[in-house]
Amino acid sequence: MDRLIEQHLLAVLNREGLEPKAGDLEQFSEIIGLYLDNLKQLHSVNLGAQELAPVFRPEWTEKK
Partner 1 sequence: MAVTEKPLYYLSIHEAQQLIQKRQLSPVELAGAVLDRIAAVDAKLHAYINLTADSALAEARAAEAEVAHGNWRGPMHGIPIAVKDQLDVQGAPARIRQFSQGVGDATAVRKLREAGAVMMGKLHMSSLPDALPLPRNPWNTEHITGGSSTGSGAAVAGGLCLGSLGEDTAGSIRTPAAFCGIAGLKATYGRVSRYGLAPLSWSLDHCGPMARMVEDLAHMLNAIAGHDANDPTSSTAPVADYTASLREDVKGLVVGVPRDYIDACAPRTEGIVLQRVDEAIAVLKSMGAVIEAVKIPTLHLATIANAVIYYNEFWAAHKSNAAWVLRNGAAQRRARVYLGLLTGSADYIQAQRIRGRCRAELAEVFGKVNCLALPNQAGPAPLVKDVGPIDTLYKHVRPEFHGPFNLTGLPTLSVPCGFSDNQLPIALQLVGKPFDECTVLRAGYSYQQQMKWYERRPAL
Q: Would you count residue 2 as binding partner 1 (CB under 8 A)?
A: no
Subset of 11-50 contacting partner 1 (CB under 8 A): 12-13, 16-21, 24, 27-28, 31-32, 34-36, 38-39, 41-43, 45, 47, 50
First to last CA, the chain: 51
* 52/46 Cα distance (integer angstroms): 14
Question: Contact positions toward partner 1, by CB under 8 A?
Answer: 5, 8-9, 12-13, 16-21, 24, 27-28, 31-32, 34-36, 38-39, 41-43, 45, 47, 50-54, 61-64
